Amino acid sequence: MTKHYALRPCILFLSAALSVFVQAQTGESLPIVDQRTDPSSPRQAPPGFMVKVDAEHGECMDEATRQQVWQEISTNIARLREEDPNAVPVERGTHPLFIWPTRAAASFTGYGFEIINNFVDHNPAFNNNLTDWNCGTRTYDWTSGNHMGTDIVLWPYAWRRMQEGVMEVVAAAAGTIVDKRDGFNDLQCVNAGNPNWNGIVLSHADGSTTWYLHFKSGSLTSKVVGETVAEGEYLGSAGSSGSSTIPHLHFEVHDGVGNYIDPFAGACNTFNGTDTWWAAQQAYKVPRINHISTHYASHEFYQCPVPETTYEQSNFMSGDSLIMRIYYRDLDNNALTNLLIRDDQGNVEASWNFNSPWLFGSGTWAWWYWLIDNSWATGSYTFEATFNGATYVRPFTIGMPIGLEENATPLFSVAPNPANETLRLSDLPSGNIRLSLLDATGRAVLNERSSSTVHDIDISGLSVGAYQVKAEVDGRASTQRVMIAR
Ligand SMILES: [Zn+2]
């Protein structure tokens, strides 16, 4: 069987401050849906291209804000000790060993949800003089400061995942809440020293502190300043409050006398050198696939802080574009991915390799474009990627409108019913909606797209009988029965 396709990899580097990521993506127009490829003249595979995001020298947390936090911490501790002299440990001693400060919400079923975009900058000079703990440059600075924390970013679909509450922030070690801020706007798109962050600061048994910033408003634990939390206890959900351009956690550590700590031990860690503060320190690079997906459009729609439009779809009809996409964490130059498409009998329908031609990126994506024509049999398929020893699978179907989440509540209304010349669908959900009209046997007799809340379907050419109108958007679907009568 010959399939018509074009390989079209592309990449997005989140190598430095994400504000430029925002700039690079903002204003992108709505996608061209269903770009067709003429099977008689297959599209040439275009060369891969790379968007490398340059460091914008914004201020994730500037010194003025940090001093304000220290002031709040000392005021809070003084007040707590007035009530109870033993409140908040003062003893020095062995520092804690941290567990990872994030986890996926229980409802999250994907492969991965986060990347580390920026570490601490150990190069004291400003203006793009960068050194991370491993002597690389996965950090940033600005004209008057260095990045002093670890940025853990939702990837992909940061805004959508934030609204879903996917990244839960947990206590890296047992401690006492010594600062807590909530209620500030969590949809910030600029790094400009905005001091109005939501988050928590914990004091640990040795007097060291861990700082957790940029939470989603209203997501914080109900515990208040002075209460203790256990290791791994929920603190809040990642957002983009304060000086922030994308939903993420800024995790910052200080020892018992206020010195900076970088929990990652390494040759270029100028604070605590080879003394790790992690119970199990992650590797510098964690090459894996966070998300593998199928889409009906090749475009990205990103407009901070709007939840991303994903254009994901599970079922494809003849004539459709099928975009296969992989979102990587820590994809290195020349890293190999084995890709294949398997049918429901286990037969490999297509296989190919992808060697990344790009420089290292902490968050990158690649995609491949297929035209679904009648060389594809109706049925169930899987898109599989094997990368760095692990295999990632995305099921999809061709010609079988199944596998969608059917909404109990209709996504739209339809009138008149019975109808004669025109069906008017109204109250359609926002997004790019795929509409189909199925006859009594379930065969699609009409396929259309709509991106408005009202859409008219011309049914004058269809014979009388019972039909179903189906609307699909973002993996949701809903069906309504209609009659055509004349
Ligand atoms: Zn940060």
Place of tokens 């400003």: 126
Distance 131 CA to ligand 1 centre (A): 15
Q: Which CATH superfamily is domain 5-53+307-398 in?
A: Macroglobulin (MG2) domain (2.60.40.1930)
Cβ burial 459-479 (10 Å sphere, 16+ → b, else e): beebeeeebbbbbbbbeebbb
User: 111-164 pLDDT, tens per residue?
Assistant: 999 999 899 999 999 988 999 999 999 998 888 889 999 999 999 899 999 999
Residues of the chain with CATH 2.60.40.1220: 406-484
What is the three-class DSSP state of 113?
coil
CATH class, range 63-261: mainly beta
Q: Give the distance (Å) from ligand 1 centre to CA of residue 72.
A: 20
| Cβ-contact 453, 475 below 8 angstroms | no
- Dihedral of alpha carbons 139, 145, 149, 151, sign: negative
Among the ranges given (57-66, 187-196, 392-401), the one the predictor scored with the smallest mean pLDDT? 57-66
> Distance, CA 146 to ligand 1 centroid (Å)?
10
CA of 59 from ligand 1 middle (Å) equals 8
pLDDT at 308: 83
Residue 113 CA to ligand 1 centre (angstroms): 18
Please say whether the structural domain 406-484 has been given the CATH code 2.60.40.1220. yes
Which residue intervals of the chain bear CATH 2.60.40.1930?
5-53+307-398
Q: Residue 400 C-alpha to ligand 1 middle, in angstroms?
A: 45
How much is the pLDDT for 43?
A: 30
**What distance in angstroms lies between residue 225's CA and the mean position of ligand 1's atoms?**
23
Centre of ligand 1 from the C-alpha of residue 149, in Å: 5
Output the pLDDT for position 232: 98
What HEC string does 227-239 produce? Answer: CEECCCCEEEEEE
Q: Which residues surround ligand 1, an ion (CB under 5 A)?
A: 60, 149, 151, 250
pLDDT confidence of 486, banded at 50, 70, 90? confident
CA–centroid distance, 246 to ligand 1, in Å, is 11
Q: Report CA(258)–ligand 1 centroid distance (Å).
A: 18
Q: Parallel, antiparallel, or unpaired for β 361-371 and 321-331?
A: antiparallel
Half-sphere exposure (Cβ direction) of 415: Cα atoms closer than 13 Å: 5
CA 215 to ligand 1 center in whole angstroms: 12
The pLDDT-based confidence of 23 (bands split at 50, 70, 90) is very low
Mean pLDDT of the chain: 83
pLDDT in tens, 63-82: 889 999 999 999 999 999 99
| Block residue for tokens 């988050």 | 199
Beta bridge partners, 219, equal none
Rounded Cα distance between 279 and 66, Å, is 27
Decide: helix, strand or coil at residue 47.
coil
- Would you say 97 and 279 are in contact if contact means Cβ atoms under 8 Å apart? yes
- Rounded to an integer, what distance in angstroms lies between the CA atom of residue 472 and that of residue 460? 23
Q: How far is the CA of 151 from the centre of ligand 1 (A)?
A: 5
Span from the CA of 60 to the centroid of ligand 1 (angstroms): 5
Report phi then psi at 160, rounded to 5: -65, -45
Q: What would you report as the CA-atom Rg of the chain, rounded to the nearest whole angstrom? A: 26
Tens digit of each residue's pLDDT (9 = 90 or more) over 315-328? 888 777 788 889 99
What spacing in Å lies between the alpha carbon of 119 and ligand 1's midpoint? 8
Element (H, E) at 79: helix 63-83
Per-residue model confidence (pLDDT) at position 60: 75
Q: Which pLDDT band, with edges at 50, 70 and 90, does 106 fall under?
A: very high
| Consecutive H or E run containing 343 | strand 336-343
CA 214–ligand 1 middle distance (angstroms): 9
Ligand 1 mean position to 21 CA, how many Å?
A: 15
436 CA distance to ligand 1 centroid (A)? 46
Q: How much is the average pLDDT of 303-321?
A: 84
Task: Please give the DSSP secondary-structure letter assigned to residue 244.
Answer: B
Q: Give the distance (Å) from ligand 1 centre to CA of residue 61.
A: 7
Type of residue numbered 16: A
Cα-to-centroid distance, 382 and ligand 1 (Å): 38
The predicted pLDDT at position 301 comes to 66
Give the integer Cα–Cα distance in Å for 279 and 399: 50
Tell me the pLDDT band of 226, cut-offs 50, 70 and 90. Answer: very high
Q: Are 172 and 189 in contact (CB under 8 A)?
A: no
The Å distance, Cα 245 to ligand 1 centre, comes to: 10
Ligand 1 center from residue 107 Cα (angstroms): 26
Cis-peptide, bond into residue 124, ω within 30° of zero: no
| CB-based contact 181:194 (threshold 8 Å) | no
* CA 150 to centroid of ligand 1, rounded, Å: 6
Expressed in angstroms and rounded, the spacing between residue 139 Cα and the centre of ligand 1 is: 9
What residue ranges of the chain are covered by domains with CATH 2.70.70.10? 63-261
Average of per-residue pLDDT across 369-386: 86
Q: How far is the CA of 24 from the centre of ligand 1 (A)?
A: 20
